[in-house]
Every structure is written in structure tokens, then in C-alpha cells.
A and B are shown apart, each in its own frame.
Chain A
Amino acid sequence: MYNFDFVKPASVEDAVAALGGDEAQPLSGGMTLLPSMKQRLNAPATLVSLTGIDALKGVCRDGDMLVIGAATPHAVVARDAAADYPALAELAGQIGDPMVRNRGTIGGSLANNDPSACYPSAALASGATIVTDKREIAADDFFQGMFATALDEGEIITSVRFPIPQKAAYAKFAQPASRFALTGAFVAQYANGVRVAITGASENGVFRWSEAEAALSSNFSADALAGLAASADQMIGDLHGTPEYRAHLVGVMTRRAVAAAH
């Protein structure tokens, strides 16, 4: 790790100001950033910690929305979202291990947009709104490919607003080594239709599986997906699975999520 300056502001305004500095980077849970700094693959001049900002923390119900502060750790989401949005809580409870769940945050995960992370699928399948220090971004516009998002330089996520579905579930097939999602499917049913988001599988990061959404919107059952296959085109191929295997898992995990939806 190279030397860096560390600041821990108490307000979003101060954090944004600090991020205006030269080669400053925001630090939330640090579950990706810190290992890459230890490997000297990342060398920020200043780390701006977001975890000292109370306004970024916590889970609360706001009408038919569940609002989660960006710096809320996964373990807190797993606990505090369970009553209002159990599928989201279950997803949070399966991320990494207890240490990761107590350090890693939802905002950090979404901003990083790892193609194998779990949270992006929940945000996209829920049609969530990503709220930043300067605007609101629809999930459909937020995720822009592997590790790419609509966030501007220095822009920080402050909260995520999840419309609460009628039914939802997340089904994850874990990569055996990292236990990230080799393929994960988040299915959410709303009054106006079903949304299905797939993580882990595509070279373009999280995506909506529109054929499945159409089938499930008219018949929300695993049977509705019979005969539906995702294309292996642009799926990830690596030592843990071929593109064909991941395309196959897209179908399997989506069916399982539908069957488990509650």
C-alpha cells in the first residue's frame, strides 16, 4: 500500500468537497478498494471515508419504498430490511462472509458495479432509484457495463430507494472460490409487471432478461419459463464456467427465484 491521506467527514457536503481534491477517492466499506490498494494496483492520494456520515446510514420505510442509506453495511440490511423487503434482506445476508457483511456497504457495491456482485441485480430488478449528492438516477440508467456506472467523478451515492414488490426472490449460484455470483437472478413482481435482473453472467455486467420478464408478467410461475433460454452470446467464460454454462444457469436460477418468490 502506498501512503495516502485519510479524511472522515461528517457530512455529505464535506465529503463532496474533499473528493474535489487531487486523486481523491471515496471509501465506503473498502472491500474492493483496500485489497487493490494493498496490491498497489490503486493509489489514491486521499481516501475520503463515507462511513462517518450518519445521513448515509440506515434502512427506513417511506410509503411503498424502502430507502437504504448508501453507507449501510450488508449485515444491517439483512437485519433491518427483513420485514419490508425480505428478498433484499436475504440477498444481503448471502454476500461474502460475516466480515464482509459488516464492512461492505450497498453504496460501495453499486458504485463499484462488479459484474459478479449481488446488489446490482436487486437494484435493477426492483427498478430502484439511486440517489446521489446531486441527482436521482434510475437503475435502468445507472449500470453501464462491467465496473461502469452513470456516476460522475466525485459524485457519491447517498441512498437507494427500492419500490417494495409484491413478491421477490434472489437465487444465486456461487462461484466456488470467491463465492461471488457465478450467476444470480433477482426476480421481482410488481403490479405493473415482473422485472428480472441477472448478475454474474454477462460480460456487460448486470442486465434485465426481457424475455423472462414478458413471460412472467403474464404468468408468474416457473413453468412460464419453460423452453426459454438465455443466449450464450456475450456471457462470461472463465475457469469456473463457459458462456454456455452461465447461459444455462440464467434459466435455472431465474426459475428457482420465481419458485422461491415471496
Chain B
Amino acid sequence: MPKDGGIGASTKRREDVRFLTGNGRYTDDINLRGQAHAYFLRSQVAHGKINGIDTAAAEAMDGVIRVFTAKDFEGVGGMPCGWQITDKHGQPMQEPKHPILAEGKVRHVGDPVAVVIAETLEQARDAAEAIELDIEDLPAVVDMKAALAEGAPKVHDDLTSNLCYDWGFVEENKAAVEDAFAKAAHVTTLELVNQRLVANPMEPRVAVGDYDPWNDNSTLYTTSQNPHVIRLLMGAFVLGIPEHKLRVVAPDVGGGFGTKIFHYAEEAFCTFAARQLKRPVKWTSSRSEAFISDAHGRDHVTKIQLALDDANNFTAIRTETYANMGAYLSTFAPSVPTWLHGTLMAGNYRTPLIYVNVKAVFTNTVPVDAYRGAGRPEATFQLERVIDKAARELGVDPVELRRQNFIKADQFPYATPVAVEYDTGNYDATMDKMLEISDYAGFAARAEESKKRGKLRGFGIAHYIEACGIAPSNLVGQLGARAGLYESATVRVNATGSISIYTGSHSHGQGHETTFAQVVAEMIGIDAGQVEINHGDTANTPMGMGTYGSRSLAVGGSALVKATNKVINKAKKIAAHLLEASEADIELADGKFTVAGTDKSVDWAGVTLAAYVPHNYPLESMEPGLEETAFYDPSNFTYPSGAYGCEVEVDPETGEVEILAFTAADDFGNVVNPMIVEGQVHGGIAQGIGQALLERCVYDEDGQLVSGSYMDYAMPRADDLPNYTVDHSCVTPCTHNPLGVKGCGEAGAIGSPPAVINAVIDALQRGGHSHVTHIDMPASPSRVWAAMNAQ
């Protein structure tokens, strides 16, 4: 087995050759013959009543093919929501209609009102300016607490209020939690904001709808993380197109970060319009449009309380969170502040009693949904911040307070009070590793040195856990998911021994084309170059659920292992026939089938050729060919964990925070490609630092987006970021998937924000600003300076 290509090898990403040379094939690179262009006219007000839309002038303009408004969608379904939450009273959440184009009212800046289809994009845009909109301004609700106040303007007139749901978890524990707080020796309280973010993948969203009237076949090319999910949702719930007449292709996709999971109105529109016009229809989002039409992330306002006994053991946690849904329910929005958040509130700790309350609120803002980490960063940030604050209040070492309350290595599997069972972990090991490689012991001396230069140095610690590898379908079904969360793979062995893999996972930067090939190459013992990974096209991949939630290797990889094992089992039967031996005696190693204890062997290609040229083949008992499909439904989530350390210097004159060092010690279970894993961690930390120090999506009180471009929305740049020290040598393999892998895609974005903020607070505290116990993200220079100077 060539060790540069199997499991554990840092094989260079094969897909980078086309990406880095500008030869990727993204959705916007797809231009079909006869294609027309769509321009979406979007609301410029946050809330308004549509009194009229006059499209006559626009329709008469050069190149205009047709103008669509809501009236063209009578009888067409709205955008579906994929997860129903049951509130604390046992009632289903309020679920408003989400039309493809605004009906009756506009509910956020960016809500699409009309679409012009024209021969060119410029013509479509010119015509859109000629549409006369009569929209009567209504008062907007932006602040969540104001939206829930008596008499607040309603985002949806047909709902009873702006409350989507009021969720309690675990409701049965509420009284016991209250009791624990009453008896606590110490209670630490922290109020915080986990601010709204814009995902900003490098590639904006694009949709190209195509229709073949002679076969009644529709095709949608789209920037999606999960083409099968889009096909199911759009076909079954929006447009009424059966799956066999609908193909969804997500080719090369330039980053998703969650925001390309969801089914968007533009996808349904382009598919619908192509059928109406019998010609392809293309829409490409501008960057400005992305700010007001891509689902946003986070946007939680939380009060968390931690109760401790007199020996500093955590005895209970209770939280109250307001979660912004925006104006409509995006595909998986209701699940993010609930099941992806509440179930993680135990963190790495033995806290016996936890109660999480979440009020999800409609506002006149862009819908909010999953963004890298989705609920888990929000949980981790609260927990790791409140623990740090408690340590400070109690005068104990934040490392020791964490250690004292860690679930210990010998306590796994560990059932938390918030409904999940961690299979493996060793939190002391990751903490030790982080402290070692960050030279925590030498921090005091470095802080002294900073002080001499007039700077305030701080060290921040966070230990995270996340639930990845989503998810057991029967469990999520009970929790309200309207989908299964298995994954699929087809392993098609070709006659001469090369292998074509068709996976339901989708790669939009993760490197599956490399790592999935490494897994198969290792299992069979052939060169990884013989294995090709295909993904992203519902026409050739088995029904799969796509890529998000750090699930690809843990779930998609497991399906791949299952299918590959089926192939190997059949290949062994063929080899046994060719070698005239018993199947039980056949061993596969290094791409060769050998009869145990003999030198009789046949190589991989010999077996595959026999499968497709079955001249010498047991046709009476076995079909020819060598191709297998497997579906894998996980029995549990996976639980990556890790310790993050951040060392900062604060300039007391300006409040500017510089990150000097960032250390991550992660336990991802087994690792297939260390280089790719490290790259995932780097990217995650960059996004986490972006949230902690830079990014902030801001609406004014009228619902106008203030940070609507890169002039005001601060994305992290390379020089905002330090060199990272990352380690994944602490390994407790997952016990319930065949590769023992846990997932690494979101970890960096989950663990880093609290580490950064803890470091900033530590620096200020050491610098004598003892009144500063919290700074909301982003800890921008102005906010840090204001905190230092507030008395």
C-alpha cells in the first residue's frame, strides 16, 4: 500500500489543481444555449404593505421576456421549513407561509417582490427600475424583545404574535434546576449577545434553471451543499415536480459554511421560470445582494447562570435565550437554537441539572439559519464565558475550575442531562496538550514583557464539545426533523480495476475528492489515483443528505466504508473462484487476494476484469459486475472536543486587540488526512476570530442593513490572524462508526470565540481594569476602549 495515499497520509488535495489554476467549474461558469437572465427586484424597506406593482412599462422594454410577481405563483407552494419545533406547552411552533415572491407584504430589506427575465442581465436590471412599486411603509420590528412586547407590529399578520416558539429543555428538570439555584453557594450570571453574522462564502449563490419540454425534464444547477435535499424540498413541496423529472446539480461550490444548505426562493424561481418560458433562466447573486438574501447566522441574546456548590462543583445551569428567526423560517432555522444548541449546554462538564429556555422571534430582518457550528458555537460561547467569569469571581484558576468539573476519561460513555450520550473523550488530555504547546507556563513572563512595552497581555482558554455526524434519523425524527440524516455511497468498480465513487456527501472546499479516495485506497490496497470521487449531481449519486454539521467523513465516509466492504466481500468470492480456494481462506492485502498460507494470489485488476468479463466465473451463483451501494444511518452523534488557547495583546491607548498566538488541541478521533484536517481547523479559527473581533451584521431601528458591504462588514484578512499551532494527537476514536472519526469542520469556529474573548478580558483584568467582566463580540477597538474607560 503506498503510504502517501492511504489513511493517515497528508496527500495534497487533488481538487486544488483545478481550483488554484482558475479551472474549477462553478455554477456561474454554466451558460446554456438560449439562456435568459433573471434580476430580482427586492424590497428596500423592512416592512411594508404592497398596494400595487405596475410592471407594464418594464414589460415593454427592450429585451424583456417576462416579469413575474407573486400572482404568477398562485397554486405553487411556499418555501418549506424542514424542522418543526414543539414548544414547552406541547404546541407546534408558529410556521408562517414563505412565498417565493412577496405576497401582500414585504417583510425585510431584500425580500424579493418581482423578477424581470430578459435577454441580458443589464436589460433585466434596466426594466426592474421601471417597475412601479406602491409599498406603504409599516413600522418595522428589529429588536427581539421589542418584537415580543404587547402591541408590537406583527411580521406575519396571520400569526398570533412574533413568537415562533417558546422552548424549554429539559422542561421536566426545570423545578429541580430552580431548586439547585436556591441552594447554590455561588451563582454567576452573564448576559451576552452572540451577534448576527453574514456567512460570506467566496462564491455568491447562483441558480440556473433548465427545462427540456420534449421530455418534461427540469434541471437546476445551483450552489448547494446538498443537491438531493433541494430536489426533495423543491420538487415535492414547492413546484410539484416528481424526482424522476427533476435533476439538481451542485458542481464546484466555492464555500458554503451552512448558508448553502437551505432551499432558497431563487432556486425554485429559476426552475419554475425555465418551465414557463421553455428556456434556461440564470440568476447570479451580486455580493451586495448576498448580504440581504443569504440566510444569516447566530443572532442570539442570552442570559446564562451557573450555580456552584461550596466546593466549586457545578450544580446547575439555566439559560434564557432570544433567537432571531428573521422574517421567515429558513429551511433548518428552528433546529439551530434548540436541538443543536440546548443539547450542548453540558459542554465538557458534569453539571447534573440544566434548563435551557429559547424564545424564537420573528423580526423584519433577513432569515437566520445554520452557520458554521450552528447552535454549538452559541452554546460553547455562553458556557466557556460564564465559567471564566465564575473562576474570576471565586478567585480560582480557570484551568483548574474546568478540570475539576470535567467529565473524566474513565466516565465514558457519559449521558448528559440534556439528552445526549458522549461516547468517548479525554478532556484532561486535550487541556494538557494545549497548555503544553502554548507554553502556558511561560505566560507570566511574557505578560511582564508586554507590560514593559505598555501593552496588556492576556491568555484565554476555552474547552469545547460539539455534536457532529448528524444524525440518527429516528432520533431527529422524534425531535421534529422532516428529513432523515443518513448518507449514501455507490462504489462502482470498473473492469480494469479503477473505481468510480458516487457519494451523497458534497464537497465545497472540504477536500472529499482526496480524502474519500484515501479511504477506499487504504481498504483495498490500491493507489488512491485509481479512485475517483463524484458528487453533487442527483442524476448519478444515490439519495444523500449532503455536507454540513461536520458530517461528511463520519456519516458519508461510513457509507463509503460499508459499500466498499460489500465490494470487497464480493471480490473475495470471485478471487476464491479464480484461485480455486475457499472464500474463508482469501485474504486481501496491498491490492492482492491471496490464499492464506500459500503463494497463490490474484491481483485486484484480475478480479475486477473477471467480474466484467465473466468467462471463468461462478455465474450460477453470482451476478457479474462489481458495484455496490450502501446507506449508513448513524447510531449516535460524534463528539469532537478540544482545548483552545488564545494569547492577545491589548493596546490600552486604542483598545486594539492583537492575537499573538492561537493554539488548538483537538480530539477528532482518527484522522484520514492530517493536512486537510489542519486546514479545516485553520479556516474555522479564522471564522471564529472573525466573529470574536471583527464581524457584525447591524440593522438600524428601521430595519435597514447598516453593514451591507465590506466597507462596514469586517471580514478577517490574513494580517488579522496569527500563525496557528494546531494539534490533533489526542485521539479517542469514535466508538460507533467504522473509521472511528468524529468530524473537524466546525471545531475551529466553535472553540475560538470564547478563547479570544476570555483572553481580552484576562488582559484587561491583569491591566487593572477589574470592572470589565464582559465585552460583546466583536471586541472591536472602540468597544474595548469604551469598556476600559467605562466606570
Residues of B within 8 A of A173 (CB): 654, 656, 781
Interface membership of B786, Cβ < 8 A: yes
- Cβ of B710 and Cβ of A178 under 8 Å apart? yes
A177 to B654, CA, bound (A): 16
A60 to B707, CA, bound (A): 41
- Cβ of A245 and Cβ of B711 under 8 Å apart? no
Interface membership of B288, Cβ < 8 A: yes
Interface residues of B (CB under 8 A from A): 122, 125, 129, 288, 653-656, 693-694, 696, 698, 706-707, 710-715, 780-782, 785-786
- A178 and B711 contact, Cβ closer than 8 Å, known pairs A242-B786, A245-B786, A252-B653: yes
Interface membership of A39, Cβ < 8 A: yes
Residues of A within 8 A of B786 (CB): 242, 245
A245 to B782, CA, bound (A): 6
Interface membership of A240, Cβ < 8 A: yes
> Which residue of the partner chain, among A1, A238, A239, A252, contacts B654 with CB atoms under 8 Å?
A252
- Max chain B CB contacts within 10 Å: which of A178, A239, A249, A252? A239
- Cβ of B782 and Cβ of A241 under 8 Å apart? yes
**15 pairs of residues in contact across A and B, judged by CB atoms under 8 Å:** A40-B125, A173-B656, A176-B693, A177-B694, A177-B710, A177-B714, A177-B715, A178-B710, A178-B711, A182-B781, A239-B706, A245-B781, A245-B782, A248-B785, A252-B654
Residues of A within 8 A of B714 (CB): 176-177
Closest 6 CB pairs of A and B: A177-B714, A241-B782, A176-B714, A178-B711, A245-B782, A252-B653
* Beyond known contacts A177-B715, A239-B712: 10 more, CB 8 A cutoff: A40-B125, A40-B129, A173-B656, A176-B781, A177-B707, A177-B710, A177-B712, A239-B707, A242-B782, A252-B653
Residues of A within 8 A of B712 (CB): 177-178, 238-240
- Cβ of A240 and Cβ of B654 under 8 Å apart? no
Q: A250 → chain B, closest Cβ, in Å?
A: 12
Q: Could you mark each residue 25-61 of chain A with 1 if its beta carbon is under 8 Å from any beta carbon of chain B, else 0?
A: 0000000000000011000000000000000000000
> Which residue of the partner chain, among A177, A182, A241, contacts B713 with CB atoms under 8 Å?
A177
- Cβ of A177 and Cβ of B711 under 8 Å apart? yes
- Cβ of A239 and Cβ of B698 under 8 Å apart? yes
> Which residue of the partner chain, among B288, B653, B694, B706, contacts A176 with CB atoms under 8 Å?
B694
The A150-209 residues at the B interface (CB cut-off 8 A) are: 173, 176-178, 182
The A227-262 residues at the B interface (CB cut-off 8 A) are: 238-242, 245, 248-249, 252
Q: Residue of A at shortest CB range from B710?
A: A177
Residues of B within 8 A of A39 (CB): 288
Q: B653 → chain A, closest Cβ, in Å?
A: 5
A245 to B654, CA, bound (A): 9
Q: Residue of B at shortest CB range from A237?
A: B782
- Max chain B CB contacts within 10 Å: which of A177, A238, A239, A241? A177
Residues of A within 8 A of B715 (CB): 177
Q: B772 → chain A, closest Cβ, in Å?
A: 16
Residues of A within 8 A of B707 (CB): 177, 239
Residues of B within 8 A of A240 (CB): 712, 780, 782
Q: A11 → chain B, closest Cβ, in Å?
A: 33
> Which residue of the partner chain, among A1, A182, A239, contacts B696 with CB atoms under 8 Å?
A239
Q: Could you mark each residue 2-31 of chain A with 1 if its beta carbon is under 8 Å from any beta carbon of chain B, else 0?
A: 000000000000000000000000000000
A222 to B609, CA, bound (A): 82
A252 to B454, CA, bound (A): 14
Dominant secondary structure at the B interface: loop
Q: A37 → chain B, closest Cβ, in Å?
A: 13
Residues of B within 8 A of A238 (CB): 712
- Cβ of A249 and Cβ of B654 under 8 Å apart? yes
A248 to B122, CA, bound (A): 47
- Max chain B CB contacts within 10 Å: which of A176, A239, A240? A176
- Max chain A CB contacts within 10 Å: which of B656, B696, B714? B714
A180 to B136, CA, bound (A): 37
Residues of B within 8 A of A239 (CB): 696, 698, 706-707, 712
A252 to B654, CA, bound (A): 8
A182 to B655, CA, bound (A): 13
Q: A235 → chain B, closest Cβ, in Å?
A: 12
Residues of A within 8 A of B129 (CB): 40
Q: B404 → chain A, closest Cβ, in Å?
A: 38
A248 to B656, CA, bound (A): 13
Q: A41 → chain B, closest Cβ, in Å?
A: 11
Residues of B within 8 A of A182 (CB): 781
Q: B179 → chain A, closest Cβ, in Å?
A: 43
A39 to B713, CA, bound (A): 18
A252 to B781, CA, bound (A): 13
- Max chain A CB contacts within 10 Å: which of B288, B694, B707, B712? B712
Q: Residue of B at shortest CB range from A242?
A: B782
Q: A174 → chain B, closest Cβ, in Å?
A: 10
A239 to B781, CA, bound (A): 11
A239 to B709, CA, bound (A): 13
A165 to B778, CA, bound (A): 40
Q: Residue of A at shortest CB range from B711?
A: A178
Q: B634 → chain A, closest Cβ, in Å?
A: 40
Residues of A within 8 A of B122 (CB): 1
Q: B572 → chain A, closest Cβ, in Å?
A: 59
Q: B268 → chain A, closest Cβ, in Å?
A: 27
- Cβ of B654 and Cβ of A176 under 8 Å apart? no
A182 to B714, CA, bound (A): 13
A178 to B708, CA, bound (A): 12
- Max chain A CB contacts within 10 Å: which of B122, B693, B780, B786? B780
- Cβ of A176 and Cβ of B710 under 8 Å apart? no
Q: Residue of A at shortest CB range from B715?
A: A177
Residues of A within 8 A of B710 (CB): 177-178
A129 to B781, CA, bound (A): 35
A39 to B291, CA, bound (A): 14
A241 to B696, CA, bound (A): 13
A239 to B122, CA, bound (A): 34
A1 to B126, CA, bound (A): 10
Q: Residue of A at shortest CB range from B712?
A: A177
A40 to B288, CA, bound (A): 13
Q: B458 → chain A, closest Cβ, in Å?
A: 20
Residues of B within 8 A of A242 (CB): 782, 786
A173 to B782, CA, bound (A): 11
- Cβ of A176 and Cβ of B785 under 8 Å apart? no
A241 to B786, CA, bound (A): 9
Residues of A within 8 A of B653 (CB): 252
A242 to B786, CA, bound (A): 9
Q: A145 → chain B, closest Cβ, in Å?
A: 20
A40 to B39, CA, bound (A): 14
Residues of B within 8 A of A241 (CB): 781-782
Q: B713 → chain A, closest Cβ, in Å?
A: 6
Residues of A within 8 A of B706 (CB): 239
Residues of B within 8 A of A1 (CB): 122
A178 to B655, CA, bound (A): 18
A158 to B706, CA, bound (A): 37
Q: Residue of A at shortest CB range from B782?
A: A241
- Cβ of A176 and Cβ of B780 under 8 Å apart? yes
Q: A124 → chain B, closest Cβ, in Å?
A: 23
Q: A173 → chain B, closest Cβ, in Å?
A: 6
Q: Residue of A at shortest CB range from B651?
A: A252
Residues of A within 8 A of B781 (CB): 173, 176, 182, 241, 245
A245 to B787, CA, bound (A): 11
Residues of A within 8 A of B655 (CB): 245
Residues of A within 8 A of B694 (CB): 176-177
A31 to B521, CA, bound (A): 51
Q: Could you mark each residue 95-119 of chain A with 1 if its beta carbon is under 8 Å from any beta carbon of chain B, else 0?
A: 0000000000000000000000000
Q: Residue of B at shortest CB range from A239?
A: B698
Residues of B within 8 A of A40 (CB): 125, 129
Q: Residue of A at shortest CB range from B122?
A: A1
A245 to B786, CA, bound (A): 8
A161 to B586, CA, bound (A): 87
Q: B789 → chain A, closest Cβ, in Å?
A: 8
Q: B638 → chain A, closest Cβ, in Å?
A: 36
Q: B309 → chain A, closest Cβ, in Å?
A: 42
Q: A227 → chain B, closest Cβ, in Å?
A: 15
A239 to B708, CA, bound (A): 12
